[in-house]
Amino acid sequence: MARLSKFIIVCLFVVFIVGCSSKSSNNQPVNNNIDKGKAETAIIESSTFNNASYIRSYTSKGQAVKETKINCVDVNSGFLSPVKVGNKIYTNSIGGYSNRSKKVVEFDISSNKYNTYDIAEGIFSVAANENYIYTTNSPPKGSIITKYDMAKKSKEKTLNVQGLVQHIILNGNKLYTFADSDERDGTLIISVINADDLSTEKSIRLKSDQSVFDSVIYKDDIYFSHMISSDGNSPSYVVSKFNMKDYTVSDIKLKEGCPDHLKVYNGNLYISHYNPMQNTGNKLTVLNLTTGEQKLLSFKHNLMQIEVQDNKLYACDDKNMHVYKVDSNFKEINSFKIMDDRKDYRIDGFFLMN
């Protein structure tokens, strides 16, 4: 598929979300103490039509604890996995056609305060450490990787690269980028970039499934998911593995298509199967990373996003949060409503508060 066609897919994805629903600003949140209790999950409620989003935290029993108003449009646009660095969460903000956004949102879990950083228009993916934010955005041709200094509140360096970079991940002083090529040949470009000076250390081009949406690091490997197959039309049935030592890539064939979010817990890779274009997908693959054994589970609701922690699987759809015990049966512990009645708003994912 041509690069333009893939960019159209991303644009249509944003349009779908709409249908469902350089300067730093230190914005103080509006906190409403709704109910007492220890927060466990935090829901991102956002809008393309309104220049405000909300982060609302809940106890394990589903009681609302705090609500923080974010003066920013489209927080966590595209159902990304928010990036956690210590007590801080980082995610993007894209905006609609009439109110485009250049912001990355930083949310402090311990204080319920936030900052926004103006970095680039149309940010697809975010990575961060204690001092810097890394973003990727795509102008009409190629993509731009930006390194942003949070203390100085300014861009430190940018790097122009080929292809449509849809996903980045940071490991130490190495930034890994995943791009669909500009050619019509189903080529994926994986680049290893020095995070200090943004110099490219290695670039690998290979025939592969396309549109990398999520990744997770386990030992020496980066596991990453694809939205579509190499033909550019059918859904992917593959999760790929990139070895950070020898730069080799191997594919793991799955029983279910549309692999989306990835999480590693106790030596298992948890893979949600969800098609964001159609808002459908209720399957979960549990892949044993030692034996290669796969277990495919079905749920009664969509798996829009997942997190795994403390023997619990957290999964949200567009209206509710569901919590399951991680064992052979995945018994549901609790479920509760997370969508309120605000007009033109939608659930854009969640993160854990500990």
Q: Averaging pLDDT over each range in 17-26, 35-44, 160-169, which range is the top one?
A: 160-169
pTM tops 0.85 = yes
Residue 80 predicted with pLDDT over 50? yes
Residue 350 predicted with pLDDT over 50? yes
Contacts of 237 (CB under 8 A, 6+ apart): 229, 253, 254, 255, 256, 257, 259
Give pLDDT, residue 263.
98
Sorting pLDDT into bands at 50, 70 and 90, what band is 32? low
**Does residue 62 contact residue 92 with C-beta atoms inside 8 Å?**
no
Q: What is the mean pLDDT of residues 108-128?
A: 96
Give pLDDT, residue 37.
66
Residue 15 predicted with pLDDT over 90? no
15: helix, coil or strand?
helix
Sorting pLDDT into bands at 50, 70 and 90, what band is 112? very high
Provide CATH code, domain 3-255. Answer: 2.120.10.80
Sorting pLDDT into bands at 50, 70 and 90, what band is 178? very high
- End-to-end Cα, the chain, rounded Å: 41
Q: What is the mean pLDDT of residues 316-322?
A: 96
Residue 12 predicted with pLDDT over 60? no
Residue 17 predicted with pLDDT over 50? no
Round the average pLDDT of the chain to a whole number and report it.
Answer: 90
Residue 30 predicted with pLDDT over 70? no
Give pLDDT, residue 114.
98
Q: Where are the beta strands (DSSP E) in 244-310?
A: 249-253, 259-265, 268-275, 280-288, 294-298, 305-309
Give pLDDT, residue 141.
80
Q: What is the mean pLDDT of residues 110-114?
A: 95
Residue 98 predicted with pLDDT over 70? yes
Residue 24 predicted with pLDDT over 70? no
Q: What is the DSSP string of 16-28?
A: HHHHT---EE-PP
- Could you tell me the two tokens for 57? 């935290």
CB neighbour burial string for 10-48, b if at least 16 within 10 angstroms, e if fewer: beebbeebbeebeebeebebeeeeeeebebbbbbbbbbb
Burial group, residue 240, by CB count within 10 angstroms (0-12, 13-18, 19+): buried
Q: Identify the residue with better confidence: 88 or 34.
A: 88
Q: What is the mean pLDDT of residues 187-192?
A: 97
Residue 292 predicted with pLDDT over 60? yes
Domain coordinates in residue numbering, the chain: 3-255
